[in-house]
């Protein structure tokens, strides 16, 4: 397996200092599922009464752990809960063996932690199609349980990495009714080596109380504006999982609180953008702002068509202000567009308007802008009030190197 030794040039300067979330205990360990010399399993145990919401890959070939999590979300939430995540093997496309493996691991976690098995959630990321050596995980559960501590989120972020080039974390604190409520999350994703997948795993914890139905509704809506607005290469993993856990240990009920919702969405967007910043081979972080669409849905369809276009992505890699390819992507997206009402900008530079190049446009200005590492492409369709912003990275030789040049 190829080793990615360079940290993405788009990575944040350092892993952020994350607050301790009351009601969450964490531990990580090296179980040798596949990797050697590093941690590869994390366990989180959550206080009784923790509400848990989840969103998952829509893949028709999703993995056994995803199916198990989906079946459990929305169940009784009075008992404690646990999340166990391993890297190195995704337990995806492993036939009936996959389900057996999940059943054995979740039961073992339940036995060790005292959490009801219906409240034990697992995720697996790594190689697909190989039976998971879950006995290696089970053998470490006693040690993991003994090592649980309230301040171990950064270690957990490292344990779930596969070929990520940096660990990803984010947090916000909100004052509600004179008390401070904390939100902290970790994520992995976007670095991958054959035959690993670009699996995105995200775990967000808060000490606020939020009723489960409200938590799920909030998570689903915000996912559409954050994690579902990022794309590296348009491919979707069979294992993508996002769990949001509200322990309630702060004693503050944040159900329906707008400031809490805003802070949560900030954490989600921060983590989502970090995933793009670790896109394979990425050298540019690109924000695509679509306005003037017939609807928000249409705006997002256009935005993702631009973000996923290999021609747009290679032009960005080549620092080429190739607005013609943006026009092409809008045209093929399937959403409403009128060529002669379209305007396109790169940063503050108006490139095209009214179906043609802008009269004041100078190629050298746009070419200079494209040399930056953080780019904004603006598209106004001139049709209505719909808008959406999506984030992506460029398509470079690095992507080909990571995904083609090495054998698993």
360-399: contacts with a copy of itself (CB under 8 A): 367, 394-397, 399
Residue 338 or 385 with smaller CB distance to a copy of itself: 338
Residues within window 28-87 making contact with a copy of itself, judged by CB under 8 A = 57-62
String marking each residue 227-246 x if it binds a copy of itself according to CB under 8 A: ------xxxxxx--------
Distances, alpha carbon 61 to alpha carbons 54, 93, 130, 238, 252, in Å:
18, 7, 15, 6, 39
Length of the chain: 408
- Pick the binder of a copy of itself from 223, 309, 343, 392 (CB under 8 A): 309
25 phi, psi to nearest 5 deg:
-120, 135
Q: Are 66 and 47 in contact (CB under 8 A)?
A: no
String marking each residue 150-179 x if it binds a copy of itself according to CB under 8 A: ------------------------------
Helices 310-317 and 296-308: angle between axes, nearest 10 degrees = 60
Give the pair of three-digit tokens for residue 187.
Answer: 């994520």
Report the SS3 class of residue 77. coil
- Pick the binder of a copy of itself from 165, 333, 343, 392 (CB under 8 A): 333
- Pick the binder of a copy of itself from 337, 349, 375, 390 (CB under 8 A): 337
- Pick the binder of a copy of itself from 9, 74, 75, 95 (CB under 8 A): 95
Give the pair of three-digit tokens for residue 204.
Answer: 């967000």
- Pick the binder of a copy of itself from 314, 376, 382, 384 (CB under 8 A): 314
String marking each residue 256-285 x if it binds a copy of itself according to CB under 8 A: ------------------------------
Binding range to a copy of itself, per CB under 8 A, among 35-43, 192-200, 253-261, 372-380:
192-200
Helix-strand-coil percent breakdown of the chain, rounded to 5?
Answer: 35, 25, 40
Binding range to a copy of itself, per CB under 8 A, among 20-28, 211-219, 267-275, 336-344:
336-344
Query: Would you count residue 404 as binding a copy of itself (CB under 8 A)?
Result: yes
Q: Which is nearest to 249 in space by CA: 26, 55, 20?
A: 20
Our measurement of the distance from residue 385's CA atom to the centroid of its chain's CA atoms, rounded to an integer in Å, reads 28
Query: Would you count residue 403 as binding a copy of itself (CB under 8 A)?
Result: yes
Which residue numbers are catalytic? 199
Q: Which is nearest to 45 in space by CA: 123, 185, 137, 144?
A: 144
Q: Cβ of residue 403: shortest distance to a copy of itself, in angstroms?
A: 4
Report the SS3 class of residue 84. strand
- Cβ neighbors of 145 (< 8 A, separation 6 or more) are 27, 43, 45, 112, 113
Q: Cβ of residue 264: shortest distance to a copy of itself, in angstroms?
A: 27
Binding range to a copy of itself, per CB under 8 A, among 145-153, 165-173, 178-186, 302-310:
302-310
Q: Cβ of residue 310: shortest distance to a copy of itself, in angstroms?
A: 4
Q: Cβ of residue 57: shortest distance to a copy of itself, in angstroms?
A: 8
Q: Are 149 and 96 in contact (CB under 8 A)?
A: no
Q: Which helix (H) or strand (E) holds 376?
A: strand 374-380
Query: Would you count residue 355 as binding a copy of itself (CB under 8 A)?
Result: yes
Q: Are 125 and 187 in contact (CB under 8 A)?
A: no
Residue 113 or 283 with smaller CB distance to a copy of itself: 283
């Amino acid at each position: 397996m190829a080793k990615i030794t360079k940290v993405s040039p788009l990575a944040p300067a350092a892993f952020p200092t994350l607050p301790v979330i009351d009601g969450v205990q964490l531990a990580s360990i090296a179980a040798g599922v596949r990797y050697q010399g590093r941690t590869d399993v994390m366990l989180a145990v959550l206080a009784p009464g923790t509400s848990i919401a989840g969103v998952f890959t829509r893949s028709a070939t999703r993995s056994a752990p995803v199916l198990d999590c989906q079946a459990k979300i929305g169940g009784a939430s009075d008992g404690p809960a646990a999340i166990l995540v391993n890297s190195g093997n995704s337990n995806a496309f492993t036939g009936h063996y996959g389900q057996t493996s999940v059943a054995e691991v979740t039961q073992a976690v339940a036995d060790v932690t005292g959490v009801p098995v219906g409240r034990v959630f697992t995720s697996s990321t790594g190689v697909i199609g190989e039976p998971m050596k879950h006995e290696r995980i089970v053998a470490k559960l006693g040690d993991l349980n003994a090592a649980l501590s309230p301040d171990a989120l950064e270690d957990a972020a490292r344990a779930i990495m596969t070929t990520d080039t940096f660990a990803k974390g984010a947090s916000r604190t909100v004052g509600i009714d004179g008390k401070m409520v904390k939100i902290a999350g970790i994520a992995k994703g976007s670095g991958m080596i054959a035959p690993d997948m670009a699996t995105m795993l995200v775990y967000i914890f808060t000490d606020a109380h939020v009723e489960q139905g409200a938590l799920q509704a909030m998570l689903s809506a915000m996912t559409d504006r954050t994690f579902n607005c990022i794309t590296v290469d348009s491919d979707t993993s069979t294992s993508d999982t996002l769990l949001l856990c509200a322990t309630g240990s702060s004693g503050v009920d944040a159900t329906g609180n707008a400031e809490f919702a805003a802070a949560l969405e900030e954490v989600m967007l921060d983590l989502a953008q970090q995933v793009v910043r670790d896109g394979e081979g990425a050298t540019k972080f690109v924000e695509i702002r679509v306005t003037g669409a017939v609807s928000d849905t249409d705006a997002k369809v256009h935005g993702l068509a631009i973000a996923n276009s290999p021609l747009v992505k290679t032009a960005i890699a080549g620092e080429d202000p190739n607005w013609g390819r943006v026009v092409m992507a809008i045209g093929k997206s399937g959403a409403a567009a009128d060529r002669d009402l379209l305007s396109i900008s790169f940063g503050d530079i108006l490139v095209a308007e009214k179906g043609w190049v802008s009269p004041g446009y100078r190629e050298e200005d746009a070419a200079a802008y494209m040399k930056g590492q953080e780019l904004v492409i603006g598209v106004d369709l001139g049709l209505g009030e719909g808008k959406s912003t999506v984030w992506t990275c460029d398509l470079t030789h690095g992507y080909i190197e990571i995904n083609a040049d090495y054998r698993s």
